[in-house]
Each structure stands twice: as C-alpha cells, then as structure tokens.
Chains A and B, each alone.
Chain A
Amino acid sequence: MARGSAEAPGGTKAPAARPAMSRVRDWRAWPGEVALLWRRSLRFRTVLITLALTALAILVACVWMALAIQNDLFDSRARQVQADALRASVEAQATLDSAEPQGSEVQLQNLLLAVGGTIAQQSETDLFTMKRSDQTPSSIAPPDLVSGGFESYVTVSEAMRAAVQADASRQWWQSVSIEVGDRSVPGIVVGQQLQVPELGTYELYLAYDLAAAQQTLGFVQLTLWVVGVGLVLLIGAIAWFVLRSVTTPIGEAADTSARLAAGELGVRLPVRGEDEFATLGRSFNAMADSIESQIKELADLSLVQQRFVSDVSHELRTPLTTIRLAADMINDRRDEFDPATARAAELLNAQVQRFETLLSDLLEISRYDAGSVQLELEPTSLAHLAEDVIASMHTLAEQHGSDVRLVAPGGYSPVELDPRRVRRIVRNLLGNAIEHGEGRPIVVTVDSDQQTVALGVRDFGIGMRPEDVEHVFDRFWRADPSRSRTIGGTGLGLSIALGDARLHGGELAVWSEPGRGSNFVLMLPRSGGQLTGTSPVPVEPGDDASAPLDDLGLTQPIDVQVTDAAASDSRSDADAPTAGGRS
C-alpha cells in the first residue's frame, strides 16, 4: 500500500514531462529543462499542479476507502466467526451435559471424540482444540482433543487462555496468524469454557482463517489503486486539453501584440464566438485600430509639416534671390552714398546673406525630417579633406588668433563618403572651435582603424557645462545666449552635422569641460557599414589644457596655402551651411 502511494505521483509526472524528455537526450539536463518548462509554460505548470493535487486527493480517498473496507470485512467476519463458535460450543456443551461417563476413561474419551464430531459438524472450521484447564494429572482424563493439527498452525496466547479460564460465561476472541508452511494467513481464534462431567473445565479454541476475506480485500484494494491512477491520468489529460484551448489563444494574443509593438500596425487578433477571448480580441483589435490611426494621423501631420517647411523655404527663395541681387548691387555702389546709407547697404547685404544661410539650413533640416536625403558617395581621404577645410578656414582662424594644427596618424586611404557633407561637418566643427577657442590652438586629429575613420576637433577654450553638452545638438540651441556671435551661425549647424554623420551610419560625439575646452569627434564607418566599438580618436582627450602645445604629441603646423581654390571653396557651398555658432 505504501509503495503504491509512492508510485502514484511518479507515474503521473511521466506523461507531462515526456515532450521535454524526447527533446533532450542527456538526462542530466532534465531538471533544468523541467524547471525551464515550469517557468515558461503556463500549461505545463497548471497540468503539473492539477496532477499533484488530484493524486493527493485520490490517494487520501483510496487509503480511507481501503481501510474502511478492511475494517468492515474483518468486523463482519469476526461476528460471523463468533456466532459460529457459539453455536458449536452450545451444541458441544449440550452433548457433554447429556452424557454420563461414570468415571470410565474410555467413555470419557469417546465422549470427547463425540463432542469433537459435533463441533466439526456445527462449525465451519475443523481447526479447533479442547484443553483441560486443570493441569493436575488425572488418571481418567483422556488426552486433549486436537483437530486439524491445531497446535502446529496456531498459537493461543497465555493471556487469552487466562481470560478464558477466568470467565466461564463469556466468549473470547483474538486475531492471530495461522502458520501454513512458511507463509502466514490472518485468522481469528475464539475461545470458551466447556464443562465436562467428572473432568471439570475444558477450554474450547476454534481457529478460523481469513484467507477469503483477505483475498476479497486484496482485490478491492487493487481495483481502487488502478481506478485511482487511471483517474489521475485522465484528469491530467483533460487538464492538458482544456488548457490548450485557453493557452493557445493567449499565445496568439502575445504573438500578435509583440508584432504590433514591433511596428506591424496591420496585425489583428481573430475573433471567434462570444467568450472572453473574443472580448479580448475585440478590445485588442480596437486598440490596434486606434494606435494605427493615430500613428497614421501623426505621420500625415508630420509629413504636412515637413512639406510646409520645405515649401516655405522654396517659396522664399525666389524673392530672396531678387533681394540678394539688389542688395549686392547696392552694396557694390556704396562708395557713391553718404556714410549712413553706405553702412545700411553693408548691413543689408550681410543680413541677406545670413538670411540665406538660415533658409538653406532650415531646408536641409526639413530634408532630414522628411527622410529625403541621399548620400553621394565617392572614395575620399578624410585626412586630405581635413587639410582642405583647414586651409579654407585659415583666414578666419587667423582673425581669431587661433593656430589650427592637424595631427593625422591615419585616415589617408580613401573611404566611401559624401565629401560635400563631410566637408560641411568638418567646417562646422572647426568654425565652432575657432569661435569658442579663445584664440588658443586648435588640434584636428584624423585617425582610423579597421572599421572606422574618425576626426576630432579639440579646442582649449572656455568649454561647456555638462548640462550644456546634453543640448549641444539641439536645434537653435546656443551654449550661452549672452555671448556675442562673432561668426554668426544659424543655430542649426551642429544638428545638421549630426544628421550628416548619422546619414553615413556614423556618429558625432562630444566631450567638454568648463575651462578645459571641448572635443568633438566625428566617427564614420568604412564602406557604409555600422559603427563598432571604440573610436580611433578618443572622445575624452587625455591631455591637459595647461600643457604647452608642443607636448600634445605629434602635432605639426600644417603648410597652409591660401590658394584660389581654397578661397573660393568657402564660397562654393553657398547653399550649404558653413561655420555656425556652437549651435
């Protein structure tokens, strides 16, 4: 029985764990696999819990039923046995009472045999004995009556004999084991006094075996366990199938919402019937509809806005061209005007140019927003490009008293990039460095590794506070509004530079500390790939602003020749934003 109960949970666990086992050959992985299933699969967990609880309940019920049946079987057998024994003993006593042996040993012996015959006839067992209670030897007493080899099968305990000897009026019984060969069968011994004439008190013991009841009990118990185990398995299977109808829609819903979250706005849950899942499906679909329409609305709105900015920029261009031509013409003749008008003409001309720059920056930004920018890649050497830009900005640097130096340990081999945009980035960074460099030297570093080419522009100027660094790429943001704008950018320069860098799959990083200056690093992946790992030019410079420039490493003053080409270069990108304020 005990073994049966131990087997029940083990046996029930097997079907649930089987799919996992067939996947995993190595038995040592099973515990991990089962634990994983337990965490991951609602169905597995629920089925397992259901099985365990059902098994426990059925076990308790079976044990209780088995015990009840056992008791009932024993009690009824015991009552039957007692009645049987009573009938036999009453008949035996009647036989004894009617006899008159007259002290003859032979007659007494015959009397006992006759009594034995009566008992054998009246009771259903032939396993009995009659023992004389008085142990004193008697000359006429025949040997004790033993039937069916009683002594060799059954041992009557001394306590029972004492109880039977002590009370003549009662029947006593005791459960014993009947030894048959080397196996024992449960049995009941019933004992009672009989009065034998002339010989006094005899004790009658009748032994009944319970083999039939035992067999019945065994059969009933076996049936119980078989039915119990069957029930557990059945309930497990039912739970498995019922849960499947629940977990499958849940899994479907989880998949669908994951796809929706990933941006597939068109996905919907199938709605079947009227149950809770149908309700879930309907509300999910309603949510998806609403998200889709709102995203579409926002996208439309932003498209309209982008188109508006683009249209405005374009529409402004024609009148601006007229103004530009007129302003230029008037400015060319300012010598003919009085000083105030001449100055007005100068201002008009300068501001028209600024307006133009602002407009083209705005247009560029609107192109990024619209995602309509296309790179025109050609193999370009970043080091040579940096050299060009430094040369073209030589005059500006000189005006601010900044010494611009190029350090280029690498980055000479051509890389696929859009030179117009990269030149614009470098010009912008350098312009910022010159404006904020406080007349101190500026170091431009170009280097490369296997995946990346990088360009750093380091100034030793006033630097920026950390909260300013965060906003440095924001549109129209300025580090210090109170500072006068000497170069006069549009406030869009750095955000355009960042846009250009990202368009190349690259990145623009910044380091700055008040009093130590700033370092802007442009990183571009080779062959239009993705940026990986570290920059060949460190974003955080390990140098010290107080160190003399000659200690900075491999710096070398570059040979700057202000050529015609360089001079006109600054003019060439009239439609491309040039050096702006740190914006």
Chain B
Amino acid sequence: MTSRILVVDDDTALAEMIGIVLRTEGFDTVFCADGAKAVDVWRSERPDLILLDLMLPGMDGIEICTLVRAESGVPIIMLTARTDTADVVKGLESGADDYIVKPFNPKELVARIRTRLRPAAQPAGEMLRVGDLTVDVAAHEVRRGDTVIALTPLEFELLVALASKPQQVFSREMLLEQVWGYHYKADTRLVNVHVQRLRAKVEQDPDNPKIVTTVRGVGYRAGAVV
C-alpha cells in the first residue's frame, strides 16, 4: 500500500519538485497551495502524512497544525526556512512531530518521512505498564483504568520507548535516535516539547509528573508501576 502524502506549500515549484522526489520514492502525493483550504483538503484526502510549510497565505502553518491536531494524530512534518528558536518551538508545540529546515536534500526528506510512516517495529501483543497506565502495544492503545487516552503515533511511540525499559534513563539523544530516527546530533528541543505534550495528556498533574519523570542533567525515564 502506497502512503499518501499531503504537501502544503504555496511555492508551486518546490511543491512540484517535492512531488517528483516523493513519487520517485513510491509515495502518492496530494498538493495544497492555500493555507485556508489545507484543513479541508486534509479532511477529504485523509493522507498518511502532512508536509507543512510554516509560511502560508490564508492561514499559517502553526494554525493549520493546531486544527489538524485537534482532530487527528496524523504525522506532521514542518518545512521551515527559519531556524529561529521561537518559530520552531511554536511549530512543535502546536503539534508537529518533526521539522526540516530548508534547504534540505531529498535523502534527508525521504528518511524523515519514512521514520514517521513506519514506526520502529514493536514486539507484538505485549502489554506494558507504566505508573497507573496500561499500554497495549499491539492495539496502539493507552488506558488509565477503563479510560482510553488518545495519543498521536509519535507520543505513543515515545511512551512505549520509555515504558519498555523502565529501568533505563534515556538521554535526549537516545530518544532522538530511537523515536525520531536521527543518527546524529539533532535538536533536543524536539524531545523536550513532545515530552511536555505527552505529559499534558497522560499525567494527572503535569507539574508533578509520575509517568514520564525527569532525571536532572541526564534525561527521562518511565515512572514506577503503581
């Protein structure tokens, strides 16, 4: 089954070129050049992944990201011409899973997309426990008691990575490699922002985290099973 990718970018030349690259790699592509229509296109096309430019006419990428996140956990990769801290963090906080800085090369783009589309294979049928949560890896489901907590695939993967080795402290670099597929030094803000988002969903008191705990100066680890 070919994955369908929605490319939201007002620069038609770049969108077309990305399309060529992605089709060469065997992806199916859909385009949208207008920010205001992006959410509608996403609803009608239901792509497997969104490549989203941050600077768009009509509605900017951050707003689109927030709207899409409100309805779905579909992987979103931002395309940004700015590496300025504020913009990137704002994009990640609005729900983007990853970002790529322009200019990028095709291999990098394809690698990022593949990582998001094919999460690392998990041992099937396993039930993990972390804090007062039960993680059903096969069903992609997280429950507190009988309540199902909705997580995006990325957040789920982050939680599984931590929960599958409850004894281990994960540095941000390790998480970047395991969850985001970066094999080199990358932006550790990715980890920080997504841990915050995950906590906001799974913790009963996000200011006093019990599920994903911080180990000062090192990284994160899963909370003890209750």
Q: Which residues of A contact B (CB under 8 A)?
A: 314-315, 317-326, 328-329, 356, 359, 372, 374, 376, 378-379, 419-420, 423, 564-565, 568-569, 571-575
For the complex, is B24 an interface residue (Cβ under 8 Å from A)?
A: yes
In whole Å, how far is B101's beta carbon from the nearest beta carbon of chain A? 5
Tell me the residues in window 79-135 of chain B with beta carbons closer than 8 Å to chain A beta carbons: 81-85, 101-109
User: Which of the residues A319, A374, A571 comes within 8 Å of B85, measured between beta carbons?
Assistant: A374
A and B contact pairs by CB, cutoff 8 A, 27 listed:
A317-B81, A317-B102, A318-B81, A319-B14, A320-B102, A320-B103, A321-B14, A321-B102, A322-B14, A322-B17, A324-B105, A325-B18, A325-B109, A326-B17, A328-B106, A329-B24, A329-B106, A374-B85, A376-B188, A423-B185, A565-B183, A565-B184, A569-B185, A571-B184, A574-B104, A574-B105, A574-B108
Known interface pairs A329-B20, A575-B83; 6 further A-B residue pairs with C-beta atoms within 8 A, sorted by A's residue number: A314-B82, A325-B21, A328-B105, A328-B107, A376-B188, A569-B185
Interchain CA distance A437-B108 in the complex, whole Å: 33
List, in ascending order, chain A residues with CB within 8 A of B14's CB. 318-319, 321-322, 325
Q: Which chain B residue has the least Cβ–Cβ distance from A318? A: B11
Give chain B interface residues in 173-197, CB to chain A under 8 Å.
Answer: 183-186, 188
B173 CB to closest chain A CB, in angstroms?
A: 10
Q: Please, which residues of chain B bring their CB within 8 A of the CB of A572? A: 184-186
Kindly list chain A residues whose C-beta atoms are within 8 Å of the C-beta of B108: 574
CB of B185 within 8 A of CB of A419, answer: yes
**B14 to chain A: closest residue by CB:** A322
Closest CB in chain A relative to B200 CB, distance in Å: 23
B106's partner among A318, A319, A325, A575 (CB-CB below 8 A) is A325
Q: Does B217 contact A (CB under 8 A)?
A: yes
The CA of A315 and the CA of B82, in the complex, are separated in Å by: 10
Query: In the complex, are the beta carbons of B183 and A319 less than 8 A apart?
Result: no
B1 within 8 A of A: no
Contact call A325/B17, Cβ cutoff below 8 A:
yes
The bracket for how many chain B residues form the interface is 20 to 34
Cα separation A319 to B83 with both chains bound (whole Å): 17
- Specify which chain B residues have a CB less than 8 angstroms from the CB of A568 in the assembled complex: 183-184
- State whether the Cβ of B70 lies closer than 8 Å to any Cβ in chain A: no
> Per-residue 0/1 for B160-176: is the Cβ within 8 Å of any A Cβ (1 yes, 0 no)?
00000000000000000
**B-side contacts of A315, CB under 8 Å:** 81
CB distance from B170 to the nearest CB of A (A): 15
CB distance from B37 to the nearest CB of A (A): 20
Q: Which residues of B contact A374 (CB under 8 A)?
A: 85
Which A residues lie within 8 Å of B81 (CB)?
A: 314-315, 317-318
B13 contacts the other chain (CB 8 A): yes
CB distance A321 to B103 under 8 Å? yes
Q: Are B84 and A372 in contact (CB under 8 A)?
A: yes
How near does chain A come to B41, taking the closest CB pair, in angstroms? 21
- Nearest Cβ on chain A to B25's Cβ, whole angstroms: 11
Docked Cα-Cα span, A165 to B174, in Å, equals: 140
When the two chains form their complex, are residues B105 and A325 in contact, meaning their CB atoms are under 8 A apart? yes
Kindly state the separation between the CA atoms of A326 and B24 in the bound complex, as whole angstroms.
Answer: 12
Convert B16-28 into 0s and 1s, putting 1 for each residue whose CB lies closer than 8 angstroms to a CB of A: 0110110010000
Asked if B103 contacts A564 (CB within 8 A), the reply is no
Given the interface pairs A318-B14, A318-B81, A572-B186, the reply to whether A324 lies near B103 with Cβ below 8 Å is yes
Contact B85 A329 (CB under 8 A): no
Give min CB distance, A234 to chain B, whole Å: 72
How far, in angstroms, from A356 to B105 measured CA to CA in the complex?
A: 11
Q: Is the CB of B103 within 8 A of A317?
A: yes
Least Cβ–Cβ distance between A387 and chain B, in angstroms? 14
Question: For A319, what are the chain B residues with a Cβ–Cβ distance below 8 Å?
Answer: 11, 13-14
The answer for the CA separation of A564 and B177 in the assembled complex, in Å, is 13
Which residue of chain B is the closest to A324 with respect to CB atoms? B103
Bound CA–CA A320/B101 (angstroms): 12
Q: Which of B85, B108, B185, B217 has its CB near the most chain A CB atoms (within 10 A)?
A: B185
Partner of B102, one of A318, A326, A419, A571: A318
A356 vs B185: C-alpha distance in the bound complex, in angstroms?
20
State whether B17 touches A420 (Cβ < 8 A): no
Q: Give Cα A378–Cα B13 distance, bound, in whole angstroms.
A: 40
How far, in Å, is A350 (CB) from chain B's closest CB? 13
What 3 pairs across the A-B complex have the smallest Cβ distances? Answer: A572-B184, A321-B103, A317-B81
Q: CA–CA, A573 to B187, complex, Å?
A: 11
Contact assessment for A322 and B11 in the assembled complex, using a CB-CB cutoff below 8 Å: yes
**Closest CB-CB distance, A373 to chain B, in whole Å?**
9
Docked CA distance A419–B188 (Å): 12
Min Cβ gap A309→B in Å is: 14
A364's closest neighbor in chain B, by CB? B83
Output the least CB separation between A352 and chain B (Å). 8
In the complex with contacts A318-B14, A329-B24, A379-B102 CB distance below 8 A? no
User: For residue B82, which residues in chain A have a CB less than 8 angstroms away from its CB?
Assistant: 314
Q: Which residue of A lies closest to B16 (CB)?
A: A322
Is B13 within 8 A of A322, CB to CB?
yes
Inter-chain contacts of B101 with A (CB < 8 A): 575
- Which among B18, B102, B104, B109 has the highest number of chain A CB atoms within 10 Å? B102
A371: shortest Cβ distance to chain B, in Å?
Answer: 13
